[in-house]
Amino acid sequence: MIGLRKVGFESEVEGDVFFNRLNAFFWNENAGVLIGQTRQRNFVVEFPTLRDEDLLDYVYIPDANSYREAEEDTLFAPIGTVDWFVDKGRNAVSLWAGAQTQTDTQGETITPDINSGGIGWRYEVPEAMRYVERIRHAGVFVNYQNVKETVTGETNEGFFSVVAGGEFNLNLDPTKVWSTGLQAIYNDGIDDVTFNPADSEDLRLGALRQARSWSLGGYLTFTHRPNLLTRSRAGLLFAYKDYPEQNDATQFSVIPNYVYRLGHGFDIVGQYRFTSFGDGLARMTGADTDQTIWAGLVFSFDQTFNDQIGERSSILNMEHGYIQ
């Protein structure tokens, strides 16, 4: 599986193109193994924002080894995962280890070693049935990070994070779908991390990622699917984050968005994001509030070769039992 990502203009990831997926995997009815560069196991619910990074601070466990402004460090890493499908179907217990991006306190990249890992459980229905069952998916993950160089001057400090959440259908009409999702993250953090607005930008970023925190996010969407073909989706999302050991260090965001499908692979999109920071975070980020508007035309495509069997959770497998 190969995927490419064009990095943003302000990203500190070197080069114009980034391999976000470059991996090999194996499945059978009992287990799955994946090794390579891919999405990290640092979230349960994939929020319906226009871009993965639009709620980056709230809905992913951050990479505490990175001191640079690059969402790729939180989203992707070389990892190895093993999934055991306990019922040969929807329930899976997962183990993973990864080499998250690592930089020094000036944001310069250091060759990473294996510095994270975790265990978790997830439940997921097949994609073809996601509109006709109450629970779409749910899960609980426990993740560990070893921080090579901390903002407190200590080395090789570790901490745990817990993420739990799920997505649910509020009705069972596959042509007019009301759905909701909720996710919470708790980061135990590094002891004695303090917020100092006088620090460099790199150290302030490190402090935000290494401090103890908790966050909560949720969404409500309406998807219009005439003739069982998705035509449009309207969503309202919210997220809140608190750093309990810091003074007035809270933030929250509200995002309404809308997607209208013109045809296969072509969408018109619009989104507005409002974020407010408590005084403690405002001094760290340099802003009391932030507002962003996106509007555009999106074109997307994919191609699958040798798809005689299909994916584990596809309706083809459900009907014919190739991989349960």
| Structure confidence by residue, pLDDT tens digits, 79-119 | 999 999 998 889 999 999 999 999 998 888 888 889 999 99
Which pLDDT band holds residue 7 (cuts at 50, 70, 90)?
confident
* pLDDT for position 319: 62
The number of beta carbons lying within 10 Å of the beta carbon of residue 221 is 20
| Structure confidence by residue, pLDDT tens digits, 188-208 | 999 999 999 999 999 999 999
Full DSSP string of 81-113: EEEEETTSSSEEEEEEEE---EE-TTS-EE---
| Structure confidence by residue, pLDDT tens digits, 218-269 | 999 999 999 988 999 999 999 999 999 999 999 999 999 999 999 887 899 9
- What's the whole-model pTM score? 0.91
State mean pLDDT over 300-320: 63
* Extents of the domains making up the chain: 25-320
Which pLDDT band holds residue 308 (cuts at 50, 70, 90)?
low
Roughly how many angstroms between the first and final C-alpha of the chain, as a whole number?
A: 21
Residues 6+ apart with CB under 8 A from 128: 314, 315, 318
Instruction: Tell me the HSE value of 187 on the side-chain side, using a 13 A CA sphere.
Output: 32
- Percentages of the chain per state (helix, strand, coil), in multiples of 5: 15, 50, 40
**Distance from CA of residue 204 to its chain's centroid?**
22
* pLDDT for position 310: 62
| Record: fold of 25-320 | Porin (2.40.160)
